[in-house]
Amino acid sequence: MVRYKVTLMDEERDELKKLIQKGGKGYRIRHAQILLKLDQQPTNDWKYKDIQKAYGASSATIAAIAKRFVTEGLEAALGRKVQTNRRRKVTGEVEAHLCTIACSEPPKGRSRWTMQAIADELIRLEIVEYITDSTVCEVMKKTRSSRGL
Contact between 118 and 107 under an 8 Å Cβ cutoff? The reply is no
Instruction: Please check the confidence at residue 41 and state whether its pLDDT lies above 70.
Output: yes
Does this model's pTM top 0.85? My answer is no
What pLDDT shows up at residue 64? 92
Q: SS in 3 state form for 65-104?
A: HHHHHHHHCHHHHHCCCCCCCCCCCCCHHHHHHHHHHHHC
The mean per-residue pLDDT over the stretch 6-31 comes to 88
- Sign for the pseudo-dihedral over CA of 121, 122, 123, 126: positive
Mean pLDDT of all residues belonging to the chain: 87
What pLDDT shows up at residue 2? 60
Q: What percent of the chain has pLDDT over 90?
A: 48
Q: SS in 3 state form for 7-24?
A: CCCHHHHHHHHHHHHHCC
- Cα 68-36-78 angle, rounded to 5 deg: 40
What pLDDT shows up at residue 149? 53
Rounded-to-integer distance, Cα 114 and Cα 60, Å? 42
What pLDDT shows up at residue 11? 92
The mean per-residue pLDDT over the stretch 80-88 comes to 78
Q: What is the CA radius of gyration of the chain?
A: 25
Give me the phi and psi of 76, to 5 degrees please: -65, -35
Instruction: Please check the confidence at residue 104 and state whether its pLDDT lies above 70.
Output: yes
Instruction: Please check the confidence at residue 58 and state whether its pLDDT lies above 80.
Output: yes
Kindly list the domain boundaries of the chain, sorted by start residue: 10-78, 92-142
Sequence-ordered list of residues with C-beta below 8 angstroms from that of 23, at least 6 positions apart, any chain: 29
